[in-house]
Amino acid sequence: MSHPDFETMWREIAPIGRSASSGGYFRQPFTSAERELHAWFLEQCHARDLVVEEDLVGNVMASWNPSRSNDPEVRTGSHLDSVLDGGAYDGPLGVVSALAAIDLLRDRGITPTRPISVSVFVEEEGSRFGVATLGSRLATGAVTWDRAKALRDRDGVRLDEAMRAVGITPAADDVSWIDVRGRTACFVELHVEQGRDLVDRGVPVGVASGIRPHGRYRFDFTGRADHAGTTRMEDRHDPMLTYAMTALAANKQARLTGQRATFGRVDVHPNGTNAIPSHVTAWLDARADSEEHLAALVGHVERMAAERAGRDGTTAAVTTESVSPEVVFDADLARRVAEPGGLPVVPTMAGHDAGIMSAVGVPTAMLFVRNPTGVSHSPAEHADMADCLAGVEALADTLERLAS
């Protein structure tokens, strides 16, 4: 079924933050592109007469409450930020679909008996300040403002400084967040699938069973800077070599155990073509099918790094930056979302704000929209318009059942 409101909104946001060279998106938090999307969302909410609340880091809650009910809200939504050079669908699909679902319910003449709220959480990707799902972690108390405000991006800019730079007054130390937990009856997040499960099943929409555990770990390799031409190979203390062998060891162990290990970001000093580096910092993204397997995977990579450092005359230190434990979504809610439409239930290795909501006791479910190639966090990320509209229909049906 065609739904022009979704298509119109999607066209409006498509150019925002898009790279002319790669076609990917740069919508990092508290940058001009992300703030433009933030303003666009507020305009859409006001156009729909939604009651908007915003906390002091920019999380937004917009409520549709035609019955003037005081009941806890049926909450949906997602995020608007992206990874560096990311795809169009990761996050914004859930936000635009949430607005379109409200439009569709109004077209149907539905008057929900409990409020329906659309949430947009900031810094879900962790692409700027290094902690994934930061906005929802702050809103639920999983991360304190005292810790968050001191986070720095790769240019050394603190989170509170970045907020001031775009005209946002940062939260005070005694900030009182919007009561997300107490005011939420349930949370249903729609998201593009970041894999090929639905493609293999030949269906456009599915329901998530849960999120597998994952974490981010910083590896600091320290050696001795020297001349690339005059220093004999046997006289070197090269941290780049230690890093390279650690990355290979992580890849091998993940393949052998059926898990995931990725070094996707590296910072090298002094970063000269003709110089042996003195320091290499690399970030490991590790994911597994259980918390025990995650700990075993990371532990193995740490041991391999230490052993290789001993041979290279370097040092290796590991810092855990964030870990998200396994999340099993509410089984009854997943059944209520899946059964009426016969939707399949699938797991995911990707982290989401829904996982943070679930971890603090909010009944939570996720809808996935088919991704033809399974590619995500890349300009090639995609979902066909027909599947997006099927996702809007599924989300509207779900909200209608849960809010009646």
pLDDT digits (tens, 9 = 90+) for 260-312: 999 999 999 999 999 999 999 999 999 999 999 999 999 999 999 999 999 99
State whether 244 and 392 are in the same domain. Answer: no
Mean pLDDT of the 100-106 span: 96
State whether 141 and 282 are in the same domain. Answer: no
Q: Do residues 62 and 51 lie in contact, with contact meaning Cβ atoms separated by under 8 Å?
A: yes
State whether 57 and 184 are in the same domain. Answer: yes
The predicted pLDDT at position 132 comes to 87
pLDDT at 40 over 60: yes
Give the domain CATH number at 251: 3.30.70.360
State whether 30 and 125 are in the same domain. Answer: yes
Q: Do residues 192 and 369 lie in contact, with contact meaning Cβ atoms separated by under 8 Å?
A: yes
Give the model confidence (pLDDT) of 186-195 as tens digits: 999 999 998 8
Structural domain total, the chain: 2
State whether 375 and 313 are in the same domain. Answer: no
Mean pLDDT of the 368-394 span: 94
Q: Do residues 368 and 348 lie in contact, with contact meaning Cβ atoms separated by under 8 Å?
A: yes
pLDDT at 16 over 60: yes
d(CA 255, CA 248): 11
Q: Do residues 17 and 82 lie in contact, with contact meaning Cβ atoms separated by under 8 Å?
A: yes
The predicted pLDDT at position 279 comes to 98
pLDDT at 176 over 60: no
State whether 19 and 81 are in the same domain. Answer: yes
pLDDT at 29 over 60: yes
Q: How far is CA 328 from the centre of its chain?
A: 17
Give the domain CATH number at 376: 3.40.630.10
C-alpha radius of gyration, the chain, whole number: 22
What tokens were used for 319? 């810092």
Q: How far is CA 245 from the centre of its chain?
A: 29
State whether 391 and 294 are in the same domain. Answer: no
Instruction: Single out the residue in 290, 324, 358 at which a domain terminates.
Output: 324
State whether 15 and 45 are in the same domain. Answer: yes
What tokens were used for 398? 């779900």
The predicted pLDDT at position 3 comes to 55
Report the range of poorest mean pLDDT among 141-145, 177-181, 350-354: 177-181
The predicted pLDDT at position 341 comes to 85
State whether 320 and 330 are in the same domain. Answer: no
What is the percent of the chain with per-residue pLDDT over 70, rounded to a whole number? 97
Q: Do residues 217 and 318 lie in contact, with contact meaning Cβ atoms separated by under 8 Å?
A: yes
Q: Which is it for the CA torsion 293, 296, 299, 304, positive or negative?
A: negative
Give the model confidence (pLDDT) of 45-79 as tens digits: 999 999 999 988 889 999 999 989 899 999 999 99
State whether 9 and 110 are in the same domain. Answer: yes
pLDDT at 340 over 90: no
Helix/strand/coil (H/E/C) assignment for every residue in the chain: CCCHHHHHHHHHHCCCCECCCCCCECCCCCCHHHHHHHHHHHHHHHHCCCEEEECCCCCEEEEECCCCCCCCEEEEEEECCCCCCECCCCCHHHHHHHHHHHHHHHHCCCCCCCCEEEEEECCCCCCCCCCCCHHHHHHHCCCCHHHHCCCECCCCCEHHHHHHHCCCCCCCCCCCCCCCCCCEEEEEEEEECCCCHHHHHCCCEEEEEEECCEEEEEEEEECCCEECCCCCHHHCCCHHHHHHHHHHHHHHHHHHHCCEEEEEEEEEECCCCCEECCEEEEEEEEECCCHHHHHHHHHHHHHHHHHHHHHHCCEEEEEEEEEECCEECCHHHHHHHHHHHCCCEEEECCCCHHHHHHHCCCCEEEEEECCCCCCCCCCCCCCCHHHHHHHHHHHHHHHHHHCC
The predicted pLDDT at position 327 comes to 86
The predicted pLDDT at position 11 comes to 96
| Domain that residue 238 falls in | 215-324
Greater confidence (13 vs 176) lies with 13
pLDDT band at 173 (very low <50, low <70, confident <90, very high): low
d(CA 351, CA 348): 8
Instruction: Single out the residue in 301, 324, 347 at which a domain terminates.
Output: 324
The CA-based angle 3-5-6, given to 5 degrees, is 75
Shortest CA distance to 256 belongs to which of 195, 213, 217, 301? 301
Report the range of poorest mean pLDDT among 92-101, 196-205, 339-348, 360-369: 339-348
State whether 186 and 254 are in the same domain. Answer: no
Mean pLDDT of the chain, nearest integer: 92
- Sequence length of the chain is 404
Instruction: Single out the residue in 296, 324, 352 at which a domain terminates.
Output: 324
CB contact set of 140 (below 8 Å; sequence gap of 6+): 180, 181, 356, 357, 359, 360
State whether 245 and 385 are in the same domain. Answer: no
> How many CA atoms lie less than 13 Å away from 363 in the CB half-sphere?
14
